[in-house]
Amino acid sequence: MVDRLARAVERHCEGLWSETAVPRLSLVSLDEFIEPTELMYEPMICFIARGSKRTAVGERSWFTPRGEMALITLDMPVTAAFEEVPYRAAVMRLDSRALAAVQLELEETGPPSPPAVSAAVTAAMAPELVDAVARWVELLDTPADIRPLASRIESEILYRLLRGPLGPVLSHWSVADSAASRIRSTARWICEHYTEPLGIDQIAEVARMSPATLHRHFKAATGMSPLKFQKRLRLQEARRRLFTGGTTAAQVAQAVGYVSATQFNREYRGAYGLPPGQDAARLRTRLTEAGEMPVLLDGSGAKP
C-alpha cells in the first residue's frame, strides 16, 4: 500500500517540490542526497512513502521514516536532513475549516484531555489512511475527478487522522483559545513581525499569557524561546538573501532587523560556523560543484 502511494507521488512530482491541482496537496521527490536544508514549515501533515527525513528546530528533532507521518502544528523555521533516498512524500496543508467540519460529524462523548503543546508529532500510518492518501494523490491521474472528489477524500483523510494516534493533537489544533491555538497564533505573529524589535512582554500580550507561561509552552512546542525563534527567522532569511547575492552583509543585517552589524556577524557565525560573506560563498561553491540549486526558501508556505 505504501509503495502504491510512492509510485503515485513519483508520477506527478516534478523536481524536489511540486504544488498540485488538488487543493492543499503538495508532493516531494528526491533521488540523491542533498545538504541539510533550511525550510519554513506551516501547519501540515507529511506522509512519507519512501525514504526518511530528520527535522530539527531549536533543541528538538524528530525522525520520520517510510510508512510514518509527521504532523506540524506551527509556522516555524526548521532544518531538514534527508537520511534515506529515494524519498517520496505527500504533504497536506492543514485547513482549520475543513478540519472543524469533520469534527462536527464525529460523535464524541466529551472533549479529549488537552495534549501537551507540541510543534511536531509523528506516528505510523494505518493501512486505511495510506489508501485514502494514495487515492487523493491518484486524482492527478484523472484531472476531471479532482473537483468532485478531492474535498471528499480530504475529509476522509482528516476523519482517519482524528480517529488515529494524531487525533488528540489535531482536535485541539483548531480549538479556539486553547494553549495550542494561542502558541500557533503567536508563532505566526512572530513570523509576520520578525524584523521588528520585539520584547517578551509584547509577545506575551499577543499570546494572552504571562511571560513565564508563554516561555514554557513555546519552548515545549518549538525547542526554543520566542526571542530565539525570532532570531532564527532573521538568520535564516539573512542567509537566503546573502546566497542570492546583490547585497552586502550590512544591508542584509539591516533588512532583517539588526541594528548592530557586529551583533549580526557574531550571531550569524555562531549559527553557521562562518562569517556571512564566507558562508554564502561556501554555499555557492558547494552547490555549483554538486550541479544543483539549493532549497533556501522564504516563508511563503510549507516546504519539503
- The mean per-residue pLDDT over the stretch 202-216 comes to 95
Domains contained in the chain, CATH given: 2-173 (2.60.120.280), 179-225 (1.10.10.60), 229-290 (1.10.10)
pTM: 0.85
Cα gap 24→6, rounded to integer Å? 18
Percent of the chain with pLDDT strictly greater than 70: 89
Query: So what's the pLDDT on residue 302?
Result: 44
Task: State yes or no: pLDDT of 49 exceeds 60.
Answer: yes
Angstrom distances, CA of residue 276 to CA of 36, 145, 234, 242, 296:
18, 49, 13, 7, 15
Q: From the DSSP assignment, how many helices (H) and strands (E) are in the chain? A: 12, 8
Q: How crowded is residue 44: how many other Cβ atoms within 10 Å of its Cβ?
A: 18
- Average pLDDT along the chain: 89
Task: State yes or no: pLDDT of 290 exceeds 80.
Answer: no
76 DSSP assignment: E
Please tell me which residue, 297 or 142, carries the higher pLDDT value.
142
68 DSSP assignment: E
Burial class (CB within 10 angstroms; exposed 0-12, middle 13-18, buried 19+) of 61: middle
- The mean per-residue pLDDT over the stretch 161-183 comes to 85
The string over 141-177, giving b where at least 16 C-beta atoms fall within 10 Å of a residue's C-beta and e elsewhere, is: eeeeebeeebbebbbbbbbbbbebebbbbbbbbbeee
